[in-house]
């Protein structure tokens, strides 16, 4: 079965749909967690610490967090590898362009590949910035509130983050609806509902994430 | 009408092609697009040039032989086949770009003619029912629920012209393949081969070098027979069902 799925374009799209939905679910949780920054350093830092103690005493300190990280890494890699292989195939399948060509599909659809690459690079930067602190001068482990405020006090921190979140909105807008089609749950009767959910998810995620840098820039969070 | 045509000319499969410009005059708005090309070819023959090769057969919009990407649209600006497109859809003095279907699975044979036998091989992989032929069976011997009959008819309308592939930015044959699969898979006559049909036809589609689906929706917009984009969703569902079932055996 695994060979049938991985060997087929339809199967690889299924891998993309499932891994995409896993990441989407994580993003919703992540976005809601981020909003705690508006309730002060105490609540935000406490929440960040709680994430490490999640599942105790059954799970050891940070086990749950690492489990989530492993699942996410698998999802990201599966999503990216399928996307790369399918894109290569698509480009090969249409080697010559039309002399008379016009862009037609929606902006969100046309930007899936570049948007995906932007998001991939952003994830790397984001982890180096706020998880490991490698690219973050003055990073204080265990003080996420201060680190977030630091990052969004720089112009490049804001620009990178906001551009990536706009790309995320576009990606989710086409991606969620597409995943439904790939998994065969779309239908004429459900199409409007699915498109609405895709748009609402895209909008809420983008707005929810961007609220944090905007909060820091406007001084609501400091 | 007086028109300027820019037509893709290519001597054979191996030759380099290019757009050539021609002028045609005295075109009636009531002519079909192919009749307009006939006028161009008469003109070319009289002047001793090689006529433009293009596919056509029934000229009634039901056979799927005609193709042509006209001004960037598969089958031109109207939602119909090229043979049913009339010159009244254009204006006097227009410049019209005419190109062949573009996909690596549809290699150009000559000028505007492409080889669509990859579609035939997809059909051969499962686009049929295995039943003894003979006289037509009694129509009511196998009851078919009305919604299923409607669904089957909607997909059976596909004439296999390849406009979906030509319009797809990925050169994918998903709409064609899904139409053929859905047409048979929903009917009781197609039920015995329901799983092998979808698995084999999708495998053949991949084998032919068509691209994958990114749900851009261009195929369904170009389809002269109005096969809906949801046809692909139904095929994906059938494929997943068949894959799950095959793994249990």
pLDDT tens-digit profile of B174-190? 999 999 999 999 999 99
Contacts across the A-B interface (CB distance below 8 Å):
134
Domains contained in chain B, number: 2
Say which CATH number the domain at B149 has: 1.10.1060.10
Order of strands, sheet of B69-70, starting from the edge strand that comes earlier in the sequence: B18-24, B3-9, B95-99, B69-70, B73-74
For residues B122 and B80, membership in a common domain is answered with no
CA–CA distance, B156 with B170 (Å, rounded to integer): 24
Same domain, B122 and B240: yes
A3 interfaces chain B, CB cutoff of 8 Å: no
Does B236 share its domain with B131? yes
The CATH number of the domain holding residue B23 is: 3.10.20.30
CA A136 to CA A210: how far, in whole Å? 20
Q: CA B205, B209, B210, B211: dihedral to nearest 10 degrees?
A: 120
Q: Is B97 helix (H, G, I), strand (E, B) or coil?
A: strand
Q: Does 1.20.1300 match the CATH number of domain A2-96+105-217? A: yes
What pLDDT is attached to residue B193? 96
- Using CB atoms and an 8 Å cut-off, which of residues 29-68 of chain A contact chain B? none
> Which of residues B109, B137, B164 is at a domain's end?
B109
Residue scoring higher pLDDT (B72 or B132): B72
Chain B nearest C-alpha distance from A21 (Å): 16
Asked if this assembly's ipTM is beyond 0.90, the reply is yes
In B, residues 100-119, which contact A (CB 8 Å cutoff)?
A: 102-105
The band of A96, judged by pLDDT with boundaries at 50, 70 and 90, is confident
* Chain segment A166-179, per-residue pLDDT in tens: 999 999 999 999 99
pLDDT value for A4: 85
CA A171 to chain centre: 9
For the residues B94-114, what does the mean pLDDT come to? 97
Q: Which of A2, A5, A7, A9 to mutate to probe the B interface, most B CBs <10 Å?
A: A9
Asked if the C-beta of A222 comes within 8 angstroms of chain B's C-beta atoms, the answer is no
Q: Domain segments of chain A: what residues?
A: 2-96+105-217
The answer to whether B170 contacts A99, with C-beta atoms less than 8 Å apart, is no
**Which of the four pLDDT bands, split at 50, 70 and 90, describes residue B138?**
confident
- Assess whether B125 and B210 both reside in one domain: yes
Across the interface, do A90 and B104 touch by the CB < 8 Å criterion? no
Q: Does B94 touch chain A (CB under 8 A)?
A: no
pLDDT at A47: 96
Question: pLDDT category, B54, cuts 50, 70, 90?
Answer: very high
B contact test, residue of A94, A175, A195 with most B CBs within 10 A: A94
Which residue range(s) make up the domain with B165? 117-248
Please name the member of A95, A104, A184 whose beta carbon is closest to the beta carbon of B218.
Answer: A104
Partners of B86 in beta bridges: B32
Instruction: List CB contacts (< 8 A) between A9 and chain B.
Output: 172, 202, 205-206, 211-213
């Amino acid at each position: 079965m695994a060979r049938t799925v991985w060997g087929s374009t339809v199967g690889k799209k299924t891998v993309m749909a499932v891994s995409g939905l896993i990441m989407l679910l994580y993003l919703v949780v992540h976005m809601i967690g981020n909003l705690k920054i508006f309730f002060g350093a105490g609540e935000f830092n406490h929440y960040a610490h709680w994430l490490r103690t999640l599942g105790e005493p059954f799970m050891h300190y940070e086990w749950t967090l690492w489990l989530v990280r492993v699942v996410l890494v698998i999802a990201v890699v599966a999503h990216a590898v399928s996307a790369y292989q399918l894109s290569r195939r698509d480009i090969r399948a249409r080697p010559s362009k039309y002399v008379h060509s016009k862009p037609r599909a929606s902006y969100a659809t046309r930007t899936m590949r570049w948007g995906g690459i932007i998001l991939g690079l952003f994830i790397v930067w984001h982890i180096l910035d706020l998880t490991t602190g490698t690219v973050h001068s003055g990073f204080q482990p265990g003080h996420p509130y201060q680190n977030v405020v630091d990052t969004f006090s720089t112009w490049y921190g804001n620009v990178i983050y906001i551009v990536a979140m706009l790309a995320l909105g576009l990606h989710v807008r086409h991606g969620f609806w597409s995943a439904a089609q790939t998994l065969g749950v779309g239908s004429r009767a459900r199409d409007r509902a699915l498109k609405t959910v895709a748009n609402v998810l895209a909008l809420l995620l983008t707005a929810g994430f961007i609220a944090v840098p905007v909060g820091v820039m406007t001084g609501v969070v400091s | 009408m007086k028109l300027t045509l820019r037509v893709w000319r290519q001597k054979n499969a191996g030759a380099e092609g290019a757009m050539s410009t021609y002028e045609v005059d005295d075109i009636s708005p009531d002519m079909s697009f192919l009749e307009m090309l006939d006028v161009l070819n008469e003109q070319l023959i009289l002047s001793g040039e090689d006529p433009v090769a293009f596919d056509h057969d029934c000229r009634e919009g039901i056979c799927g032989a005609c193709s042509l990407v006209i001004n960037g649209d598969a089958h031109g600006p109207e939602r119909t086949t090229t043979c049913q497109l009339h010159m009244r859809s254009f204006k006097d003095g227009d410049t019209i770009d005419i190109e062949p279907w573009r996909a690596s699975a549809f290699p150009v044979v000559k000028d505007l003619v492409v080889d669509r036998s990859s579609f035939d091989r997809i059909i051969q992989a499962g686009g049929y029912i295995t039943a003894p032929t003979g006289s037509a069976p009694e129509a009511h011997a196998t009851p078919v629920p009305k919604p299923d009959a409607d669904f089957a008819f909607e997909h059976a309308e596909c004439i296999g012209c390849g406009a979906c592939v030509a319009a797809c930015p990925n050169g994918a044959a998903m709409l064609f393949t899904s139409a053929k699969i859905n047409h048979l898979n929903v009917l009781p006559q197609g039920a015995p081969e329901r799983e092998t049909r979808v698995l084999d036809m999708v495998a053949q589609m991949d084998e032919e070098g068509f691209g994958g689906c990114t749900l851009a929706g261009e195929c369904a917009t170009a389809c002269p027979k109005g096969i809906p984009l949801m046809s692909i969703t139904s095929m994906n569902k059938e494929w997943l069902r068949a894959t799950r079932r095959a793994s249990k055996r």
